Structure 1
């Protein structure tokens, strides 16, 4: 589809180095390109891509993006960003057809697009605390500590398993909206 891809794998094994990944992702427009591409398996037109990126950048609905806004985004994508992303092997850009196609690296980089706002609940610490408390309860049960012996070991196992299950279910449901671009337009969390 595009000219022969010019990959720059610093590791020599066909994988992108961390430096390359962060170099590509340091630019918000490139992150928006990845967000848009992860939604489509088939090639996308540069025009549609530029329109959506402009909507996200200007935090406006798609139908309210002006021609000037779209043109600014279109031009920089065409002249700078898509070429850099293709050099890294992250996308394929067909300049003749003006279409952009995902590569296997596109999917691998989406993990870097996850947003964790500063006000986000500290889940790692929560699970560590929950696990520590569970271990303390089990140790106390082994020693026969009085208030804990009011429930059987099976009942305590049920309480612990239910607590972890409920926490994981809540974490999963509450985290579903923490992806770049899942809303009408994407928040600008990367530049905070």
Structure 2
């Protein structure tokens, strides 16, 4: 048996030293359902990646960026119909989910999102979970919202 030191409560617990045995994990770390629910959908991950590069976004700007990403189209070429459909998806499904999970805050008056209480934790979890699979999406999401040409 080896001693395992738990940084959270400064107590040591005995953990078998068998090669296949994992150390005890503090319960609060296991309570990550909101993290996984927050990042389960690619559109929500996209919203989160944008927050890492800018602290506030309008829903319309996000709708344009996500349509451009999903259709591999320059932002300037995205149709109003596509923007409207994406806006509805974000406004009625994805933003409320992230607000409920306290990952983002939403100002209904200005129709903008900004990081919430758990944004940093969720972004850290994304980075640590091998989010490199989303590298192209992450780079696109963090791109400045300007008139840059693709």
TMscore range, shorter length: 0.5 to 0.7
Q: Which runs of 5+ in 1 are unaligned?
A: 1-11, 118-177, 187-192
Corresponding residue number in structure 1 for 2:139:
182
Corresponding residue number in structure 2 for 1:71:
84
8 Å contact 2:69–2:140 — kept in the other structure? no
- TM-score, normalising length from structure 2? 0.64
Task: Tell me the C-alpha RMSD between the 2 structures.
Answer: 3.0
Which is higher, the Rg of structure 1 or of structure 2?
1
| Structure with a larger share of its residues in helix | 1
Corresponding residue number in structure 1 for 2:54:
40
Structure 2 distance, partners of 1:88, 1:98, is: 18
Q: Which runs of 5+ in 2 are unaligned?
A: 1-26, 144-150
8 Å contact 1:16–1:88 — kept in the other structure? no
| Structure with a larger share of its residues in strand | 2
- TM-score, normalising length from structure 1? 0.51
1:179: Cα distance to partner?
6.1
Give the alignment of 1:52-67 within 5 angstroms. 52-67=65-80
Structure 2 distance, partners of 1:33, 1:23, is: 14
Structure 1 distance, partners of 2:40, 2:78, is: 24
Count of aligned residue pairs for this structure pair? 114
